[in-house]
Amino acid sequence: MEKFEQIFMHINGEAEKREKEQEQTYLDGLLSALEDTLDGVFSWQVEGATKEDMRKAIQIAILKGMRKGSQPNHQMTPDTLGLLVSYFVEQFFEKELQNRTISVLDLAVGTGNLLYTIMNTQDGKMQATGIEVDELLIRLAAATGDLIEQQVTLYRQDALDNLLVDPVDAIVCDLPVGYYPNEEVALDYELCATEGMGFAHYLFIEQAIRYTKDGGYLFFLIPASLFEGEEAKKLHQYLKANAWIQAVIQLPETLFSAKAHEKSILILQKQHKELRAPREVLLAKVPNMSNKQALAMFFEKVQMWKESK
Ligand code: SAM
């Protein structure tokens, strides 16, 4: 059995036990098992397990818990997407990552899976902040962050309100999609709707740009239809004035259960007086992950674009 499977066995067994004995949900049982692990109340050991083993084991347990419950906002960014975003973060910050720590902000950190997938691949080179409105999810993110020993500061709040965060080098965010109910807060945004509720995903993009340093990069998982529809004109105008689109990467349909759930990766750079827009926007489609040759060609295309930038 692999190490992450052994860890999963321990925490899953404990979560199930607590679910039955204490009449909790599986996710609550899992959370208390993780918090008790940190406090030394519940102990288990898997010799030689890495941070990635730990993250993967917790990820599988959280997925199991989310499938059992049916909270619509309980969505975790899966590894395949996290690893692709991680690859792009590495490409855009190649030089910086060799010399210094970079600051990263995830405005919708959820369980932390996306953020920790990226942080584990760049171990020790990132200092991160995460914002999340859901209490259970942010506590899961906090316990996981402590267990895998990543430097992260978490705030439980509405990410569209004012934040106590200095502008960062990089934003990573799997955008929540839908309408944003707080019309008063939305009034502070150029992208607020002319009438009624506006799109949360638009406002998140605007908020992310506000909290990015000039010249910094933003990596979003966006709904594939983000730039479609009448409302999208406003988004285009806003982006044109504040950011440079670096890349739009389509993801394979096979990764999503339905057309409506398909996502793409959008990479922006916040404008900077002394920098210029890329000569060409990288438009590419990630092939089916099982096609190794096509995947190699995709990465080659990215490298060629990077060299010509
Ligand atoms: N990347 C996350 C992960 O790996 O678990 C998943 C992010 S999920 C697609 C979007 C998250 O945004 C949900 O956890 C949801 O609770 C959160 N969210 C939605 N609206 C929010 C708001 N106004 N402020 C903060 N978080 C919000």
Mutate to test the pocket of ligand 1, among 75, 162, 175 (most ligand atoms within 8 A of CB): 75
Is the CB–ligand 1 distance for residue 159 below 6 Å?
A: yes
Is the CB–ligand 1 distance for residue 176 below 6 Å?
A: yes
Mean pLDDT of successive 10-residue stretches along the chain, which has 309 residues:
97 97 95 98 95 97 92 89 97 96 98 98 96 97 98 97 98 97 96 92 98 98 94 96 98 92 97 96 95 96 93
Detail the DSSP E strand segments found in the chain. Answer: 102-106, 126-132, 152-156, 168-174, 179-180, 198-199, 212-223, 243-250, 263-270, 282-285
Is the CB–ligand 1 distance for residue 143 below 6 Å?
A: no
Is the CB–ligand 1 distance for residue 117 below 6 Å?
A: no
**Domains, the chain, ranges and CATH?**
3-68 (1.10.150.470), 79-308 (3.40.50.150)
Using the atom order of ligand 1, give the atom closest to the CA of residue 137.
14
Q: Give pLDDT, residue 71.
A: 82
Non-local (6+) Cβ contacts of 250 within 8 A are: 224, 264, 284, 285, 286
CA of 142 to the centre of ligand 1 (A): 14
Q: Give pLDDT, residue 64.
A: 97
Q: Give pLDDT, residue 74.
A: 85
Determine contact, residues 96/102, Cβ cutoff 8 Å.
yes
- Per-residue pLDDT tens digits for 131-146: 999 999 999 999 999 9
**Shortest CA distance to 157 belongs to which of 142, 174, 173, 138?**
138
Q: How far apart are alpha carbons 109 and 155 in whole angstroms?
A: 10
Q: Give pLDDT, residue 39.
A: 97
Q: How far apart are alpha carbons 159 and 156 in whole angstroms?
A: 9
Q: Check residue 76 and give left, alpha or beta (phi > 0: left; psi -120 to 50: alpha).
A: beta
- Per-residue pLDDT tens digits for 62-87: 999 999 987 888 899 999 999 999 99
Q: How far apart are alpha carbons 16 and 24 in whole angstroms?
A: 9
Is the CB–ligand 1 distance for residue 183 below 6 Å?
A: no
Q: How far apart are alpha carbons 246 and 223 in whole angstroms?
A: 17
Using the atom order of ligand 1, give the atom closest to the CA of residue 117.
4
CB atoms within 10 A of CB 292: 9
